[in-house]
Structure formats: C-alpha cells, structure tokens
Amino acid sequence: MADWLRRHRGLVPYLFLVPGGLWLILFFVVPLITTASVALQEGSLGTGYRLTFNFDVFPDAITRWNVQLVRSLEYGLIVTALTMLIGYPMAYTIAFRGGRYKNILLLLVIMPFFTSFIIRTISWKFILADQGFVLGTLKDIGVLDQSFRLLATPAAVISGITYNFLPFVVLPLYVALERIDPRVVEAAADLYASRFQAFIRVTLPLSISGVFAASLLSFIPAVGDYLNAELLGSRNETMIGNVIQRLYLVNNDYPQASALSLILMIGILVSVFVYRRVLRGQELTV
Amino acid sequence: MTPHRTRTTFAILGLCLALILAACGIGPEDSAGPSPADPGDSGATDTAAPSESAVGGGEPEDELNFANWPLYIDQDDDGNSPTIQQFEESTGVDVTYTEAIEDNSSFFGTVQPALAAGQDTGYDIIVMTDWMIGNMARLGYLEPLDLARDVPNFLDNADQVYLERSYDPDNKYSVPWQSGITGIAYNPALVDEEITSMAQLLDPELIEKYCGQIGMFVEMRDSMSFAMLYNGVTPADATIEDAEAAQQVLLDQAPCVRDYYGNEYAQALADGSLAITMAWSGDVFQLQFDNPDLQFVVPEEGAILWTDNMAIPKGAQHPNAALAMMDYVYDPEVAAQVAEYVNYIAAVPGAKEIILQHAADAESDEDREYLETVANSPLVFPTQEMLDNLYSYKVLDEDEERQWNEMFQEVVQG
C-alpha cells in the first residue's frame, strides 16, 4: 500500500476527497437525481407514479406559481441588501475597533444559534402579537391605531428572514475584513486619500470576497426560506418554499413539488453565476 | 477547481443523470414492467376486500406500536398515560405510544411507501381522520376488523351515530377514537355582536370591520365545507360545481383573512390577534379556562362533525394487541379517563355518568369543578340539537381530491 502510494503520489489528494465525495454523492447527487426523476413522473400517491418524461411540468409550474417565485427572489434580494447594510458595519467595527473585546463580540453574534431558530421565530409572534406587549402598549397609549399590525405583513416576513440570517453574513465579512492589514489603509491616507476614499478604494475591494460569500449565504437560504413566511406571514407573503412544502406534504403532489424545487435551484444557480460575472472585475478569490 | 475541470465534471454528471433518470423510478409502483392491478382504480380493491378475512381472533402479542396525534390521550404529571399503563398491566403488552401524527396527508405520505410495497409500517394502530380512513380503505391499506369477535365493547358502548358512518360503512376497518366539531369561535372583547351565522365569518361586507382579524383553517376539507354550508350545500353531496362556488366564497373572503391556520390558531385567538375564527371544539373548551368570555358556536347553517379513528394498517405485526387496545378504550371507565383529559367528544356516551361520579368523589373543589365542567359541557357531550346540525366531510375520490386541493391552494397561497 505504502509502496503503491509512493508510486502514484499524484493520486493522494484525490484520496482525501473520497469521504467528502461519497457524502456528496449520497446526500446531494442521489436526492437530486431522485427529484429530477419524480418531476418527470405522472400519477398519484395512491395509484403510483410512472415516468412519462412529462417536461410540460416545468413551464406549467412556472406559470402557475410565477407570483410566488418572483416574490421569493424579491424578498431574497431585499434581505441580502438589508443584512449587508446591517452586517457590514457590524463586521467592520468588530474587526477594526473590537480590540480585546473581539471574541466576546463574535460570541454575541453567534449567540442566537444557542436557541433553535424555530423557537426564536415563534417568539417574534408573541412579541409582535396585535394585542401583545409591544403593539398592545403602543395602541393603549394612542401612538398606534387599534387596527395596526405587524404580523402577517411583508415587513414582518422580511424582517424575520433578515434577523435569522444576519449572523451568516457577519461571520464571513468579519473573516475578510480581519485579514486586511491596517497598514495598507494607513498607506492610502499617506497618499492623501480621504477616509471615505480609503474605504472605497482599499478596504471595500479587499473585503469583496467576504461580501460575495456573505451575500450568497443570505440570498440562497432566504429565497428558499419558508418558515418565516409560514409563521410571520399570511397568504399575501407566501414564498415558493411554502408552495413546495404544501405540494409535497399536504397535496402529496410530488411531481409538481419536485419540478418547483428544481426550478428554484436552477434559478438560484443562474443568479449566482450572473452575480459572479458582475463581481468578476474585482479581485475575486472565491 | 479550474473552470475547465468544472465543465468536464458537469458534463459527466449530466451524462450520469440522463442515464440514471431513465433507470431509476421513484414511488410505490413505477414504470418497470406491466403494472399489477391498479389499486387507485376505485372499486378494484373494494371488490377484493370483502373476500379478505378479518385480522385477530388470537391472544395479544407482546408489543403494540400506537401512533396518535399530540396531546390526544390522558397524561399524568410525569408525562405517562395512566390509560396506557393500566392496559400494559392488565394485558402484559408492552406499548410504544408515539405522537407521530401531525397531519393526515403528511403522515400518509410517510407510511404510504411501506403500505404500497406490502410491508409493515411499524405501527399497529394509527389514528386518522374519517376521510383518510375512507381513502386508505379504498386503497386496501387497512386490515378488516371483526368487531363482534374482537371489539365487543365498541358494539356495547359506542354512541349510535358511530355505527353508521359514511366513510367506513359497517365499521369494517375502523373504530372512532375521538370526535370534534369544527365551528366558529369569537372573542367578545373584539366583537360587539352575537355570532350566529356563517355569513358573519364569510360575507365580505359583514366582516369588513374585522378585516385582518378573521381566521380560517389551512385544512382544505374544513374550510371548503364551511363555504359549502354557507352556500346551502351539504358537503358530503358536493359536486365539482359546488366546490368551485365554495372556492369563490373563500377567495372573496380572503382579503380580510389574517391567515389560514393549523393548530396555532388557538394561540392567535387567545392573544387577541383574531376576533372571529374557525375553531375546533376541544381547543375552545380548554381556552375557556383562561378566558371564559371566548365563545364557540355551531352556526345556524350547520358545522362539521369530524371523527378521528383507530385503524390497523395492512401488514401490522401485532394485530391482536391492537384489537385488545381498541376494545379496552371502549370500556366506559377508560373512555371517561381519556375524555377528562383531552376534552374532545367521546364516542362513549356512558362516560358522562362516570365523569360526574368522579366529580362527586373528587378530593379538591378545583378538581370537582373541573370534572363537572367537562361532563356538562356541550363541547364534550354535545346536545342532540347540536348533533342534528352537524355534517360530515365528503369522502373524495382521487380526481376530486386533486381538484379540490388545487382550488384551495389558490385560496391559501394565491
């Protein structure tokens, strides 16, 4: 064995890939193929499904659910923008101004993970209930109209997703910003750059790989999210994840649900490639 | 990974995908070879079923796997069920009781592959709502029962209404666990009128002032049946046109509906987010302990009486133990014990006397008051007048189910 390895030294890196590769095949490739196959079948749970290569399922699903597909992409973009607006200053402050509190601040960022995100989202339902602690009080003192509500509105759903994915954005941004040598910013200042110019022309480009990773980590799960719309939204905030969930688990309409899952996946892949193209001018190390 | 290598990898993956797609079938019975008799072809199994002989007739096995809905059996402070424990002691059967059922369709989705393949699902008793019992019986997924031989307590003690059920004629496959009413609940703190009719929940003009505080159910059969009753249609006789008319009622109402709820409507009703909502009788009974003002009504147009039933899935490993359990819970003492805890409608009318007896024997005033409330509540032991105005769901065939589901999905998800 050792002899064999010595002679085929080039193969060693591939051997290291075997566990991860098997994992991917078992839990990614096989389910993906299954999903693709189910999408092309026709029938029902009771009578069984037959593979009929019914490709019409894709245009049909897009036509039927275009509102929810577009809404999901829309919410995903808004959430990504919001998490970036909130997360970048947070990560920046921790990386450059955190000093000896850096580790504590980072711990605070991941603290919410100590509780299941389902529980945290449900607690928002209690906090924001129409007659609950916050809104009830504001209504009683006359600040808000009696019929005002936050739950079951797009604002509630978008805030919920933003809240849930914020840590995923802060961490990669922090890693990217932390790596920047403060002396290059000083050098920019020495070359008569204003603080703003130094940020735009030095810090931001150097952290762009973090921005890329962070925006993917919020955009991809946000588009596919269904929990926030389920708990904090209503009919008018239905996202594509909710539609897929209902098609799978309530209607037992597996082909249409699988087709929509694939459409969602392809949609996300395409947007990621476009996004990457756009950022390509920058020094991209992703 | 370089772009070039990525491309090669994708090409190989794509090729594999194309090859495997053709070979790999999913689901119970797929394309491979001529398919056996099509069980969905309605009637095919109906005609086959009568020749089957009932399971049971023997001594209980050592084990029993019982799948039920959450909070649907009595529980002591340690989280154990006295009903289950007493059964274990008297029979020696080791019972695994799991709250595995959250929803009819998704539970069916999890056991269906095993049933279709003729394998054991791992459960000996499952509790499914009436229409799902109808579906599963039609597909040949349930074991036929011999009630006279194995479940005599049912024939002796069950209410007459449970002897003739449209979804399971002659009680061939199931016996009721609990029933409940889907009616209307409202919060008088937010509603200054008495609610007596469906129109006050469904008519867009009448609900205008409660816009955003109206709750409906995400369960298709409940909401569609409500709209049918409002239209003067008996849900069990509804045609596809009736379903379309019902969908229209729900779509017109939708702008004012806060959300389409599952079990979580109870929380929204309790915290004041909902003024008027569809509701299940047992939930409102329990909410009334915290807020006695909450009202539950059977509207004048009628409401829905649903029944969750115990059944033995095909291929169950411990059918005799399952039958022993079914017989056991029809003992009025046991039925009373469960009713005192779950507060839905017990299938055993004799339980009422026993609960009153328990109340008389109660040690604390608090317990006595509670037990008397249970025994005298029309939500647990409905009056004849209420029962006369209750309707069942329609047992849908596969085409209808698909059409109704699609119509209703448009209502709840746009």
Kindly report the CATH number assigned to the domain that includes residue B200: 3.40.190.10
For residues B260 and B114, state if they share a domain. Answer: no
Q: What is the DSSP code (8-state) at residue B313?
A: B
Nearest residue to B283 (alpha-carbon basis) of B303, B301, B302, B262 = B262
Nearest CA in chain A to B115: A46
Domain count, chain B: 2
Q: Identify any residues that bridge with A49 across adjacent strands, giving them in sequence order.
A: A43
A160 pLDDT more than 50: yes
Is residue B221 located within the same domain as residue B314?
A: no
Domain range annotation of chain A? 66-279
Contact flag B40-A46 (C-beta cutoff 8 Å): yes
H or E, element range at A123: helix A117-127
**Same structural domain, B273 and B293:** yes
Return the residue in A26, A41, A47, A123 with the most chain B beta carbons within 10 A, the one to mutate for interface testing: A47
- For B112, the closest of A45, A235, A236 (CB atoms) is A45
Q: Do A243 and B413 touch (CB under 8 A)?
A: yes
Residue B189 tokens, joined: 């703190």
Interface test with A, best of B273, B293, B314 (most A CBs within 10 A): B273
Same domain, B294 and B192: yes
Any domain includes B290: yes
CATH code reported for the domain at A66-279: 1.10.3720.10
- Which residue in B has a C-alpha nearest to residue A66's C-alpha? B414
- Give the SS3 label for residue B343: coil
Residues B149 and B267 in one domain: no
The verdict on residue B188 lying in a domain is yes
The owner of tokens 């069950």 is B158
H-type alpha helices, A179-239: 182-190, 195-198, 204-206, 208-224, 227-232
Neighbours of A204 (CB within 10 A): 15
Q: Is residue B2 part of a domain?
A: no
Tell whether B152 and B193 lie within a shared domain.
no
**Quick check: B24 and A37 CB within 8 A?**
yes
Give the count of beta carbons closer than 10 Å to the beta carbon of residue B213: 24
Q: Please tell me whether residues B211 and B221 are part of one structural domain.
A: yes
Q: Structure pTM? A: 0.80
**Residue B63 located in a structural domain:** yes
Domain-embedded: residue B237: yes
Q: Which of A125, A235, A247 sits opposite B414 (nearest CB)?
A: A235
Higher local confidence (pLDDT), B27 or A87: A87
Please answer yes or no on whether B21 and A40 come within 8 Å at the CB atom: yes
| pLDDT digit string, tens, across residues B162-178 | 888 888 988 899 999 99
Asked if residue B200 and residue B340 are part of one domain, the reply reads: no
At residue A264, does pLDDT exceed 90? yes
| pLDDT in the model for residue B40 | 39
Q: Do A249 and B41 touch (CB under 8 A)?
A: no
Looking at the structure, tell me whether residues B271 and B292 fall in a common domain. yes
Q: Are residues B312 and B252 in the same domain?
A: no
Q: Does position A134 have pLDDT exceeding 70, yes or no?
A: yes
ipTM metric: 0.78
Q: Using one digit for the tens of pLDDT, what is the confidence trace for A17-50?
A: 999 999 999 999 999 999 999 999 988 877 778 8
B398 and B270: one domain?
yes
A43: three-class secondary structure by DSSP: strand
Query: What's the gap in Å between the CA of B94 and the closest CA on chain A?
Result: 32
Task: With beta carbons under 8 A apart, name residues in chain A contacting B293.
Answer: none
Question: What is the distance between the alpha carbons of residues B279 and A52, in angstroms, rounded to a whole number?
Answer: 42
Contact A131 B109 (CB under 8 A): no
Please report, in tens digits, the pLDDT of each residue of chain B (414 residues total): 444 545 555 555 555 444 454 444 444 443 333 333 343 333 334 434 444 788 888 899 999 999 999 889 998 888 899 999 999 999 999 999 999 998 898 899 899 989 999 999 999 999 999 999 999 999 999 999 999 999 999 999 998 888 888 889 888 999 999 999 999 999 999 999 999 999 999 999 999 999 989 999 999 999 999 999 999 999 999 999 999 999 999 999 999 999 899 888 998 899 888 999 999 999 999 899 889 999 999 999 999 999 999 999 999 999 999 999 999 999 999 999 999 999 999 999 999 999 999 999 998 999 999 999 999 999 899 988 888 899 999 989 888 999 999 999 999 998
Does some domain include residue B121?
A: yes
**Identity of the residue in A34, A68, A254 whose CB atom sits nearest the CB atom of B413:** A68
Taking alpha carbons only, the member of A52, A73, A60 closest to residue A222 is A73
Q: Pick from B180, B281, B262: which is nearest to B215 by CA?
A: B262
**Are both B291 and B408 inside the same structural domain?**
yes
Structural domain that includes position B289: 180-305+389-413
For residue B274, being part of any structural domain is answered with yes
For residues A144 and A146, what is the distance between their CA atoms, to the nearest angstrom?
Answer: 6
Q: Residue B225: what residue type?
A: S
Asked if residue B301 belongs to a domain, the reply is: yes
pLDDT of residue A251: 87
A234 and B40 within 8 Å at the Cβ level: the answer is no
Q: What percent of chain A has pLDDT over 70?
A: 98
Q: Quick check: B271 and A251 CB within 8 A?
A: no
